[in-house]
Structure 1
Amino acid sequence: MSIPLSVLLNIQNPDRFKVHLASWNGDSHPLDVFVRDREEWHFWNSWRSGKDEFNRRYILSLIDFYPEPGVWLFGGIYEVVGRKGHNFSHSYSVVPVDQGVDLIGRLKIYFRRPGRIRAIKLDRYYEGMHVSELLKEVYSGARFPGYENISHDFRTLETVFSAHRPDWKSALESVKGVYVIYDKSSGKKYVGSAYGDTGIWSRWSSYINSGHGGNDELVSVIRDRGIEYARENFRITLLEYRPARTDDRVIIERESFWKEALFSRGRWGLNKN
């Protein structure tokens, strides 16, 4: 039996609220924004289009929880205390309110969005919103899935690394391994490895920070198209991992094996050697 949202978030006057259904804006996912920078997330709730969509006193802010269709993460309640709409300074002046503050980033809500609209009247949809899950801690990116299940888009890993998720960090710092970066746009692959004293976490951090990790062919791609290209098209998969005490020569040999197996050299891939 589903639990109505009102059980955990009891709003007495829903007719005074608009709901902000924050979702992909063509540049960023709000879920990633929420994890990496709360000030930036606050800005998402103060941005105003020319329509004055949030024309009620309060905004109930929900974040598209894109790993689970139909699920939204509670992003807080804001009071609109001012509006601007001149030239290029369209914005709302908003302040967060105390109600539900302990649920921000923890409360997941099941709700089927009516089309692609970003602002709806809460009183029309409040009864149709239900609790999906209440997380023990504020959401800080995808949970570590186990070494055998690491195959994630660049954008997802960017969120994980920017949040320094301890489950991922402790796991990847302690192993060496071989991985493949797949470019979904070109179909080409780059096989790389992490060895020495740094572990996979350190090596992948270089990719997340730059988009290319210093590899010649990837540098060329990112130099021409920017790191947003990596966010949109790169997917990183861990092919195999070994304990940190493993001799580096073993890792290098396995890297060579995977380059052959996946045809990542020459016109089919992004490896030069």
Structure 2
Amino acid sequence: MPILLRDIWPIENPGEYKIHFARWNQHTQPLEVFARDRREWQEWQEYRPGRDDFNRPLIFSLIQFYHEQDTWLFGGVYRVLARHPDRYEVELTDIGANMIGRLKLFYPYRDRTTRPVMERHHEGFEVQEILREPYSGRTFPGFDDIDLSFEELETLVRNERLDWRAALENIKGVYLITDIHTNRRYIGSAYGDMGIWSRWRQYVETGHGGNVQLTRLVREQGLPYCREHFRFALLEQRTARTADDVVIARESFWKRVLLTRGEQGMNRN
């Protein structure tokens, strides 16, 4: 029998609330925004479309937990202080403060409306999980299942996720970067004194990691292009004791197999 939100958290005066079902906006995942920058997350509550959707005093914010179907992460209750023609002024309240980033709800919401009234939906919210700590990035899935958007990688690096860092910091390996806008691919590697974690941190900071073709792309398109269109996958991992020439040979193998030299890829050699 499911535990309903109303069983553990009765909402007083639901008529004072609008819900904000924050979903992917064709550019950014709100879950990653929340995890990397709370100020940027508050700006999602301050955005005002043409209509006055947040026309009640309080906003009950929910974040699409896109790794799991029909799952939402509680992002706080905000009070609307002012309504300007182009934006809202809001402040985070202490209502449910200990649940922010921890409470996960199950609710199969399919409507296009992003900001509905609370009373139509509160009764159906099921408590799926309460995390031990506020969400700061996805749990390390194992070496065989690493496929990350730039935005998700940035969240992990900015928050110094210990499980990811411990796994990737001291391994050598070969990785794939895919530009999902053009479908062009780049094969890179980490060897010597630099592990995968440090190598990928460079991409988060610069977008190009010092690679010639990627540097040109960042110069032309800017870092926001990388954040929106790059994906990172780990193809092979090797222990720190592995000779560098072995890793370099495997990097060359993957360049040949995936045709990343020439027009279809972004490797120059």
- TM bin, normalised by shorter chain, reads over 0.9
Q: Which amino acid aligns with 1:9?
A: W
Map of 1:142 onto structure 2 = 138
Map of 2:55 onto structure 1 = 55
CA separation of 1:80 and 1:169: change in aligned 2, threshold 3 A:
same
Once the two structures are overlaid, the 10-residue window that deviates more, 163-172 or 109-118, is 109-118
Secondary structure (helix, strand or coil) at the match of 1:10 reads coil
Structure 1 distance, partners of 2:255, 2:110, is 47
Map of 2:22 onto structure 1 = 22
Map of 2:98 onto structure 1 = 102
Q: Which amino acid aligns with 1:116?
A: R
CA separation of 1:105 and 1:80: change in aligned 2, threshold 3 A:
same
Map of 2:83 onto structure 1 = 83
Once the two structures are overlaid, the 10-residue window that deviates more, 257-266 or 139-148, is 257-266
The 5 Å alignment of 1:95-174 reads 95-174=91-170
Q: Which amino acid aligns with 1:220?
A: R
Secondary structure (helix, strand or coil) at the match of 1:119 reads coil
Deviation per residue, 1:26-56 (Å, 9 max, x gap): 4432211111111121222233334221111
The 5 Å alignment of 1:67-82 reads 67-82=67-82
**In the alignment, is the contact (CA less than 8 A) between 2:180 and 2:229 conserved in 1?**
yes
Secondary structure (helix, strand or coil) at the match of 1:203 reads helix
The structure 1 residue matched to 2:264, chosen from 264, 268, 271, is 268
Q: Does 1:35 align with 2:35?
A: yes
Q: Which amino acid aligns with 2:72?
A: W
Q: Which amino acid aligns with 1:16?
A: E
- The alignment covers a number of residue pairs equal to 269
Map of 2:205 onto structure 1 = 209
Once the two structures are overlaid, the 10-residue window that deviates more, 76-85 or 11-20, is 76-85
1:60 deviation in Å?
A: 0.6
Deviation per residue, 1:67-118 (Å, 9 max, x gap): 2232111001122233233xxxx33332222221111001111123242212
Q: Which amino acid aligns with 1:71?
A: T
1:153 deviation in Å?
A: 2.0
Q: Which amino acid aligns with 1:158?
A: E
Q: Which amino acid aligns with 1:265?
A: R
Q: Percent same amino acid at aligned positions?
A: 49
Structure 2 distance, partners of 1:116, 1:214, is 42
Structure 1 distance, partners of 2:3, 2:42, is 28
TM-score, normalised via structure 2 length: 0.93
Secondary structure (helix, strand or coil) at the match of 1:266 reads coil
1:156 deviation in Å?
A: 1.7
Secondary structure (helix, strand or coil) at the match of 2:205 reads helix
Deviation per residue, 1:122-159 (Å, 9 max, x gap): 01111111112211111001111111211222222122
Secondary structure (helix, strand or coil) at the match of 2:46 reads coil
Which stretches in structure 2 are left out of the alignment for 5+ residues?
A: none
Secondary structure (helix, strand or coil) at the match of 2:78 reads strand
Structure 2 distance, partners of 1:44, 1:69, is 22
Map of 2:252 onto structure 1 = 256
Structure 1 distance, partners of 2:112, 2:99, is 25
Secondary structure (helix, strand or coil) at the match of 1:61 reads strand
Structure 1 distance, partners of 2:263, 2:17, is 56
Deviation per residue, 1:195-237 (Å, 9 max, x gap): 1112111111111222211111122222222223323332211
Q: Alignment RMSD, CA only?
A: 1.7
**In the alignment, is the contact (CA less than 8 A) between 2:28 and 2:228 conserved in 1?**
no
Secondary structure (helix, strand or coil) at the match of 1:35 reads helix
